[in-house]
């Protein structure tokens, strides 16, 4: 760089974030900058990014104040009381505009309102480029459990000074400590209440990295219970390893746990498979929409026969390789769902019933796979069968007029001023409270209801 460029560099490199810094960074030729100074350039970009994130936060918070999202058409005599929160319809609007999942969008909007209303010092630090958005969101998330804005701001004041010099993990440790110290009795009560929310997540795709078809599951609950589970499974794995098994301990721990699942689907019981066992020793599997619990995989018949290698679709997860699809389909009894209903089965139940029968429910959930809100990925099995054209407005209970919606989006369609219409080709358009439209193409897994050259099948273990 020239001497003048060096002077400008020294002036701007520590400048506060804003339009001037952004304009300078955009014109800077990094090929002319030393390694020493490139580190400072990266830091300057990070400050500017924090500044733009703060402006984004302000925009999202302002969105919730607009009348389009303050209103709810939910009737006052609804059976289940509903507390309207503007972050829900506003979050769904943002979800569609930015192609974010509904959960992510609602959380971002909620955090934005908290930073603006309850944690202004954190928002100011973000706008000044002292902390990044990840740390600002962490402060909001960790202090949300506190019972008053005063307590939130007390914790904020105790951690914010060192936050710019700390890693996220270090800040998290400080936050957890200060939140407990702020109200120890409430912290113990939260621990007891949280233990009631213990859960296991459904499978989610693993992080990208050449691991197609791999997934992860999260267990959440008291640390002592998870320690007991790990200790027992680890001991079993080490015993098997000691018998000469060549699998690694990680592989053995995984195989022991997943083996419990496959055995349960074969027998209809989780735990002891001996019919003489007491109820405390085994658990019978429940049905889903009237059908036996099964693992579903949709695969083209041509792939099943080995003539091609098209991906299959594991319900509740997504695409898997052809070989994995064939293995699941052929490692035991299976039945098929053709792309056209077979045996003369009637799927259109006209105006005779509002609640879809089990056969129609099974067909629609297999066809849709996930919630039909454009950005929602909740599995169809956990959703509601919804009438596109409402039943009380002339809509029939048929495969063409029903689809699966996650409970939150079923409610949003009914009460949050989201409307839909369907084109002749089957594409359904969602119109948001702000007037934007987004398409959902029919049947995400292929033409299950029409004849097609590459017939698809759904393979599953035999019912118990």
Q: What is the pLDDT of residue 387?
A: 83
Q: Is residue 328 part of a domain?
A: no
Same domain, 170 and 236: no
Using one digit for the tens of pLDDT, what is the confidence trace for 37-50? 898 999 999 999 99
* Domain total in the chain: 3
State the chain's mean pLDDT as an integer.
79
In the chain, the percentage of residues whose pLDDT exceeds 70 is 78
Q: Provide the domain limits for residue 370.
A: 358-440
**Which of 284, 307, 330 is where one domain is finished?**
284
Q: Which of 399, 404, 398 is nearest to 449 (CA)?
A: 399
Q: What is the pLDDT of residue 49?
A: 96
Q: Is residue 36 part of a domain?
A: yes
Q: β-pairing, 384-387 with 318-320?
A: unpaired
| Average pLDDT rounded to a whole number, residues 422-448 | 74
Q: Is residue 412 part of a domain?
A: yes
Q: Is residue 385 part of a domain?
A: yes
d(CA 412, CA 340): 32
Using one digit for the tens of pLDDT, what is the confidence trace for 349-395? 334 444 566 777 777 877 777 888 888 878 787 788 888 887 667 77
Using one digit for the tens of pLDDT, what is the confidence trace for 96-147? 999 999 999 999 999 999 999 999 999 999 999 999 999 999 999 999 999 8
Same domain, 238 and 370: no
* 3-7, 198-202, 260-264, 414-418: range with lowest mean pLDDT: 3-7
d(CA 383, CA 403): 9
> pTM of the entire structure?
0.62
In the chain, the percentage of residues whose pLDDT exceeds 90 is 35
d(CA 354, CA 340): 24
d(CA 166, CA 357): 57
Confidence of residue 73 (pLDDT cuts 50, 70, 90): low
* Residue 338 pLDDT > 60: no
Same domain, 182 and 216: no
In this structure, are residues 151 and 142 in contact, taking their beta carbons and an 8 Å threshold? no
Edge-first strand listing for the sheet containing 437-440: 419-422, 428-431, 437-440
Using one digit for the tens of pLDDT, what is the confidence trace for 285-335? 766 555 556 666 777 767 766 777 877 777 667 777 878 777 766 554 333
Q: What is the pLDDT of residue 461?
A: 40
Helix (H) or strand (E) holding 421: strand 419-422
| Average pLDDT rounded to a whole number, residues 174-186 | 92
d(CA 93, CA 85): 14
Same domain, 144 and 162: yes
Query: From the DSSP assignment, how many helices (H) and strands (E) are in the chain?
Result: 17, 15
Same domain, 64 and 156: yes
The DSSP string of 283-336 is EEPPPBTTB-----EEEEHHHHTTS----EEETTTEEE-HHHHHHHHHSS----
Q: What is the pLDDT of residue 228?
A: 85
Same domain, 127 and 167: yes
Same domain, 61 and 84: yes
d(CA 185, CA 112): 29
* 7-11, 74-78, 277-281, 443-447: range with lowest mean pLDDT: 443-447
**Which of 284, 303, 337 is where one domain is finished?**
284
Q: Is residue 447 part of a domain?
A: no
Helix/strand/coil (H, E, C) string of 128-180? CCCCCHHHHHHHHHHHCCCCCHHHHHHHHHHHHCCHHHCCHHHHHHHHHHHHH
* Residue 226 pLDDT > 60: yes
Q: Is residue 19 part of a domain?
A: yes
Exposure string for 163-202, b = 16+ CB within 10 A, e = fewer = beeeeeeebbebbeebbeebbeeeeeeeeeeeeeeeeeee
Same domain, 264 and 280: yes
Q: Of residues 1 and 283, which shows the higher confidence score?
A: 283
Q: Of residues 402 and 256, which shows the higher confidence score?
A: 256
Q: What is the pLDDT of residue 266?
A: 74
Confidence of residue 70 (pLDDT cuts 50, 70, 90): confident
Same domain, 190 and 226: no
Cα distances (angstroms) measured from residue 379 to each of 1, 201, 316, 331, 412: 56, 12, 5, 24, 18
Same domain, 194 and 211: no
Q: Is residue 348 part of a domain?
A: no
Same domain, 213 and 190: no
d(CA 400, CA 360): 11
Q: Is residue 315 part of a domain?
A: no
Same domain, 222 and 145: no
* Residue 229 pLDDT > 50: yes
**Which of 235, 257, 284 is where one domain is finished?**
284
């Amino acid at each position: 760089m020239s001497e003048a460029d060096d002077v400008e560099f020294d002036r701007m490199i520590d400048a506060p974030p804003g339009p001037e810094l952004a304009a300078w960074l955009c014109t800077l030729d990094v090929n002319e900058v030393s390694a020493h100074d490139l580190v400072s350039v990266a830091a300057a970009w990070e400050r500017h990014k924090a500044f733009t994130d703060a402006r984004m936060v302000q925009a999202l918070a302002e969105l919730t104040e607009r009348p389009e999202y303050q209103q709810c058409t939910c009737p006052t005599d609804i059976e289940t009381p509903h507390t309207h929160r503007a972050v829900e319809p506003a979050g769904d609007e943002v979800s569609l505009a930015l192609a974010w999942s509904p959960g992510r969008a609602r959380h971002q909007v909620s955090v934005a309102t908290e930073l603006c209303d309850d944690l202004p010092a954190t928002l100011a630090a973000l706008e000044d480029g002292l902390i990044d958005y990840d740390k600002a969101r962490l402060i909001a998330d960790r202090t949300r459990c506190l019972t008053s804005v005063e307590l939130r701001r007390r914790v904020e004041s105790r951690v914010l000074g060192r936050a710019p010099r700390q890693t996220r993990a270090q800040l998290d440790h400080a936050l957890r400590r200060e939140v407990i110290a702020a109200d120890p009795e409430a912290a113990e009560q939260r621990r007891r209440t949280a233990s009631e929310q213990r859960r296991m997540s459904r499978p989610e795709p693993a992080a990208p990295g050449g691991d197609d078809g791999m997934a992860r599951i999260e267990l959440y609950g008291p640390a002592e219970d998870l320690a007991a589970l790990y200790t027992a499974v680890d001991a079993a794995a080490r015993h098997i390893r000691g018998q000469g098994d060549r699998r690694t301990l990680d592989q053995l721990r995984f195989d022991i746990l997943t083996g419990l699942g496959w055995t349960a689907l074969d027998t209809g019981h989780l735990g002891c498979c001996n019919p003489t066992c007491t109820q405390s020793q085994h658990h019978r599997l429940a049905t889903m929409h009237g059908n036996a619990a099964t693992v579903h995989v949709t695969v083209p018949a041509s792939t099943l026969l080995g003539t091609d290698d098209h991906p299959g679709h594991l319900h509740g997860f997504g695409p898997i390789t052809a070989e994995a699809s064939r293995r699941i389909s052929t490692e035991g009894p299976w039945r098929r769902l053709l792309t056209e209903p077979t045996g003369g089965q009637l799927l259109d139940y006209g105006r005779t019933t509002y609640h879809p029968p089990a056969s129609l429910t099974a067909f629609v959930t297999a066809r849709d796979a996930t919630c039909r809100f454009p950005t929602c990925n909740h599995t169809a099995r956990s959703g509601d069968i919804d009438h596109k054209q409402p039943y009380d407005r002339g809509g029939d209970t048929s495969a063409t007029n029903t689809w699966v919606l996650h409970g939150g989006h079923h409610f949003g369609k009914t009460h949050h001023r989201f409307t839909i219409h369907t084109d002749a080709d089957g594409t359904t358009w969602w119109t948001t409270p702000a007037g934007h439209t987004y398409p959902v193409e029919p049947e995400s897994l292929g033409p299950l209801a029409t004849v097609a050259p590459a017939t698809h099948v759904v393979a599953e273990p035999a019912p118990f």
